[in-house]
Amino acid sequence: MRALRFGTSWGGLLSGPLAWALSTQLNYALVPWQCNRQVPVVLPLALLLVLFSLLGGALSWRAKRERGAAFKPERTPDTERFVANLGMLSALLFALVIVMQGSAALILDKCLR
């Protein structure tokens, strides 16, 4: 619970790539199921994983903000600030990649062979 309250600087570094890897693997694995049942699952799954990635970025942002308020700017560890900034940007980048992959479901019919 402490990590949710104060955030973790590496939250975005972990959640972004993990969400993208899950999105890529599940997109390939769920296509036969989606074609057999005619239930669109790729786009809702992409939106859910974008949310997961952005939540990790929010944890990084929160850690940066909380640590910045707790310490004077000259005493805040540079590594902690760097990792938090990198986590926020990484989470945003991977969220955009997942959106781009998921938006292909709006244009392409995956059941065509």
Look at residue 14 and tell me whether its pLDDT is greater than 70: yes
65, 68, 59: which is closest to 12 by C-alpha? 59
The H or E element spanning position 64 is: helix 42-70
Helix, strand, coil tally for the chain in percent (to 5): 80, 0, 20
Residue tagged 């990790």 (tokens): 56
pLDDT at 39 (0 to 100) = 84
**pLDDT tens-digit readout, 55-73:** 999 999 998 887 765 555 5
Q: Which residues contact 83 (CB under 8 A, 6 or more apart)?
A: 9, 10, 13, 60
**pLDDT tens-digit readout, 34-45:** 888 888 888 899
Residue tagged 């969220």 (tokens): 95
Helix axes 42-70, 11-37, angle to 10 degrees: 170
